[in-house]
Amino acid sequence: MAQAAIELVGINKSFGAVRANRDINLEVARGTIHGIVGENGAGKSTLMSILYGFYQADSGEIRVGGKPVSINTSNDAIALGIGMVHQHFMLVDNFTVLENIILGAENDALLKSSIAKARSELERLEREYGLEVDPDAVIEELPVGLQQRVEILKALYRGAEILILDEPTGVLTPAEADHLFRILKQLKDQGKTIVLITHKLREIMAITDTVSVMRQGTMVATRVTKETTVGELAELMVGRRVLLRVEKGQSEAGAVKLSVKNLTVKDSRGVTMVDNVSFDVRGGEIVGIAGVAGNGQSELLEAISGIRQAVSGEVMLDGKPIDLTGKADPGELRDRGLAHVPEDRHHVGLVLAFEENENSILGYHDDERYLKGPFLNIDAIMADAKEKIEKYDIRPANPRLKTANFSGGNQQKIVLAREMEQDPGVLIVGQPTRGVDVGAIEFIHKRLIAMRDQGKAVLVVSVELDEIRSLSDRILVMFAGRVVGERGPDATEGELGLLMAGVEHQEAAE
């Protein structure tokens, strides 16, 4: 048995009436990859935030290398060789990679020697762990996969021997996730200890040595990964059997409700991101769009929802055009029966400083259901919020809690509840289950299927091929801004993967 790198003994943490961690005991062996899984709100991130010094436990003990330690700040954790890569990156967008690496770890006022040291150390770390990234690149110009590498490099630069990763693949494409796993295995081979918080059970099975399961703030089980199954872990997480593949009947497609014709969209740099795209979505069907992130899916959804200007083409909602000049009123489109769940819930879907009840009506706040004369009807809003919280199992069940204090998966459920409960005729959804646990994924998928069966038209964009194949009645694949193929739900992952990589499209063009 390898020596324990970390031991948590009897950890308790409450936030007011909410007990986030209850008598948690956890042991992580040195030089292993240890997974921690659990539903959204199970207390995983809180526990790791205690280990990293963001929070202090109400009671309990932390041991590092067998010795009791006191971790009151993240600096204490860093001094003990603990680094953390957060679900939402802690980087300064307009700083370079190098400037972000040394931020908080400078060794002189003029920074000259700090920068020289960091550049040299970065070159060594890149060689050793395959973490290549341009040190002079500005963070906001890097794709998310490379931004995550910068976070890992930051931790290694500060001497981390124990690395905590919180939902590291939530914003990565499958290819980026595979590369991350290769990096983690390399770190493990070099003697580092990795703690991986995730809700993706296939990732747990693929990369971890040991996995611990949390449920409602308690540690319910620890398993050797090769001795357990996805089904057992899902049941331990949720406390009941979970359907890992959505069950649905044959679709009964009706009239066209959303029509996209020859749509072309450019980004802020003038680069064509959507290139002459055409397709229809009928009532009573789910059309899924597969593709590696960055191939125009985001811009396509933004143009359809009226928030991004198109260069040419048309989008028809129930036979009537949507304004593609970039000046469309999203409220008007909502009134016409178009609901939009954006890919980026933080910047587009929610106001994090608002309470849950405020976000639960955001965009629909002028609906007469929520008004009393010219004023908001607070009682009606609170009753509506409580109903959505119960129906969508949003945790904690507190409509007065600031939305920033919910886990990522519960924030996603707030957005989904708001949009789905408006009974839209057309629902467009970007990454419906990003950052969401297995129990909530099952629930969200059932709700989407129910909307389809009610005759709604549903357009789903997801980088999760399993999700696209499971949900969709028809699958469109985007590559380099174009729809390069259409397949049925029985299409294999390999077949879709070739289209996503542009292989078949390139061969056809030759």
Average pLDDT, the chain: 88
Question: Is residue 509 over pLDDT 50?
Answer: no
The CATH number of the domain holding residue 13 is: 3.40.50.300
Tens digits of residue pLDDT in 14-48: 988 888 999 999 999 999 999 999 877 788 989 99
Give the pLDDT of residue 5. 94
368 in a structural domain: no
176 in a structural domain: yes
Q: Tell how far CA 388 is from the center of its chain.
A: 21
Q: Return the closest-CA partner of residue 39 out of 350, 406, 383, 294.
A: 406
Residue 507, classified by CB atoms within 10 Å of its CB into exposed (0-12), middle (13-18) or buried (19+), is exposed
The pLDDT confidence band at residue 457, using thresholds 50, 70 and 90, is: very high
Same domain, yes or no, for 109 and 173? yes
Q: 423 CB contacts (<8 Å, ≥6 apart)? A: none
Tens digits of residue pLDDT in 465-474: 888 988 999 9
Give the pLDDT of residue 178. 82
277 in a structural domain: yes
Pairing, β 210-215 against β 457-461: unpaired
Same domain, yes or no, for 180 and 329? no
The pLDDT confidence band at residue 507, using thresholds 50, 70 and 90, is: very low
CA distances from residue 339 to 46, 56, 349, 419, 494 in whole angstroms, order as listed: 33, 41, 12, 6, 32
156 in a structural domain: yes
Give the pLDDT of residue 108. 58
Question: What mean pLDDT is predicted for residues 58-67?
Answer: 95
298 in a structural domain: yes
Structural domains of the chain, count: 2
Same domain, yes or no, for 119 and 219? yes
Domain span at 496: 256-337+424-509
Is 293 strand, coil or helix?
coil
Distance CA 469, CA 493 (A): 8
Based on DSSP, count helices (H) and strands (E) in the chain, helices before strands: 17, 22
Q: Return the closest-CA partner of residue 194 out of 208, 180, 204.
A: 208
Write the secondary structure of 57-118 as one string of H (helix), E (strand) and C (coil): CCEEEEEECCEEECCCCHHHHHHCCEEEECCCCCCCCCCEHHHHHHCCCCCCCCCHHHHHHH
Question: What mean pLDDT is predicted for residues 59-68?
Answer: 95
Distance CA 82, CA 80 (A): 6
